[in-house]
Amino acid sequence: MSPPSAMFAEPAPVSAPLPTKAPLKDQVKVAGNYSSTSTLAEVTSDWEKFTFNPIRESQVSRAMTSRYFKDLDNYAESDVVVIGAGSCGLSATYMLAKARPDLKIAIIEANVSPGGGAWLGGQLFSAMVMRKPADAFLREIGVPYEDEGNFVVVKHAALFTSTLLSKVLQFPNVKLFNATSVEDLITRKDAQGNIRIAGVVTNWTLVTMHHDDQSCMDPNTINAPIIISTTGHDGPFGAFSVKRLVSMQQLEKLGGMRGLDMNVAEDAITKGTREIVPGMVVGGMELSEVDGANRMGPTFAAMALSGCKAAEEVLRVFDE
Ligand code: 48N
């Protein structure tokens, strides 16, 4: 019986890890007249001759794992951690990364897909409403909208969220760790015994969801001098940090989100975004759970501008 490798004409195993930088174009031998400046039309001009460049599965694995674990190593000490990549967390990250390209910013997002509640406008409808003056944020990130007088409408919430996400992910000083949950907070005590938040405790979300039916699965950690928590209002994952601050007796109790009042809610949450305990700024709907603020329902102006204010609160701490 001939060995499996002789049965399938596969490329010879590669012993040493390949260089992670892209191979020089003249090292890449492919069919047809491909070059690294080929247009899509040229590449797809002759399906008879068409073929992809050769690869070995281990190269794919090494390309992914080498980068992921290098990122984990690099961001193990971050300057800022943002918990929750919803509209508020992403807006805060955008403003921070743009203002301070020297800061290392890690975003920890429990879902595989970041974006939180901002993929749809409300009740699974697609259009997103933002009250003026938050249209200034849409112009800042280049999202088109229809002007309706006191408010503007983005034709699909996903256009806002995907544009903001794309801008955030392009910053070289930002790393998104999605499908990853913050399971606890790292704390430090000062000489007077006061607690300061000093980082986060993380696990892959699928692990976090199975602590009750698997033996002990210890977490990972990220140290950072300041955290922005924007984990949304209460729900299966929501309001994580503020609930944890109550259980570790750093907050006496939660105010609990109140009924819907758009005009009251958006001003209160935006202007109320702040460092609620040393080392932790809370914004977006998570803040409504602390302050007992009203909810605003399907309007997103406060999420964007609370993110802007959260970034300012962090910069103030760094500038102190
Ligand atoms: O979109 P959300 O839930 O939160 P915000 O504050 O960014 O935006 C809130 C907004 O979508 C509304 O709720 C609108 C305005 N409606 C208001 C109303 O009155 O109904 O994003 C929070 C993100 C989500 O992606 C979660 O998956 C994530 O935070 N998250 C976590 N990520 C990591 N670790 C955790 N422990 C965690 N908890 C939540």
Q: Work out the pLDDT band at 237, boundaries 50, 70, 90.
A: confident
What is the whole-number distance in angstroms between the Cα of residue 9 and the centre of ligand 1?
A: 50
109 lines ligand 1 (CB under 6 A): yes
Structure tokens at 300: 């997103």
64 annotated as belonging to a binding site for a ligand: no
The pLDDT of 178-200, averaged and rounded, is 95
Q: What is the pLDDT of residues 93-108, one digit of tens each?
A: 999 999 999 999 999 9
Non-local (6+) Cβ contacts of 148 within 8 A are none
- Confidence at residue 14, expressed as pLDDT on a 0 to 100 scale: 55
297 annotated as belonging to a binding site for a ligand: yes
Whole-angstrom distance, CA of residue 141 vs CA of residue 136: 9
- Confidence at residue 24, expressed as pLDDT on a 0 to 100 scale: 44
284 lines ligand 1 (CB under 6 A): yes
Residue 208 has pLDDT above 60, yes or no: yes
Residue 28 has pLDDT above 50, yes or no: no
Q: Work out the pLDDT band at 19, boundaries 50, 70, 90.
A: low
Q: What is the pLDDT of residues 249-273, one digit of tens each?
A: 999 999 999 999 999 999 999 999 9
- Confidence at residue 4, expressed as pLDDT on a 0 to 100 scale: 44
- DSSP bridge partners of 106: 81, 175
Give the distance between the most distant pair of CA atoms in the chain: 78
277 lines ligand 1 (CB under 6 A): no
- DSSP bridge partners of 204: 180
- Confidence at residue 35, expressed as pLDDT on a 0 to 100 scale: 83
The pLDDT of 225-250, averaged and rounded, is 93
The pLDDT of 232-261, averaged and rounded, is 93
Which 8-state DSSP code applies to residue 22? P
Residue 7 has pLDDT above 60, yes or no: no
What is the whole-number distance in angstroms between the Cα of residue 195 and the centre of ligand 1?
A: 25
- Confidence at residue 236, expressed as pLDDT on a 0 to 100 scale: 73
Residues recorded for the chain? 320
- Confidence at residue 130, expressed as pLDDT on a 0 to 100 scale: 98
Structure tokens at 201: 């405790």
The winner for highest mean pLDDT among 2-16, 26-40, 289-303 is: 289-303
- Confidence at residue 152, expressed as pLDDT on a 0 to 100 scale: 98
Judge whether 11 and 52 are in contact, CB under 8 Å. no
Q: Work out the pLDDT band at 234, boundaries 50, 70, 90.
A: confident
Structure tokens at 179: 């499908």
What is the whole-number distance in angstroms between the Cα of residue 86 and the centre of ligand 1?
A: 5
Q: Give the lowest-confidence range in 12-16, 137-141, 154-158, 196-200.
A: 12-16
Q: Is the dihedral of CA 265, 267, 268, 272 positive or negative?
A: positive
Q: How far is CA 160 from CA 84, 124, 154, in A?
A: 17, 15, 7
Q: What is the pLDDT of residues 292-302, one digit of tens each?
A: 999 999 999 99
Q: What is the mean pLDDT of the chain?
A: 91
Cis peptide before 133 (omega within 30 of 0): yes
Residue 82 has pLDDT above 90, yes or no: yes
The pLDDT of 20-43, averaged and rounded, is 67
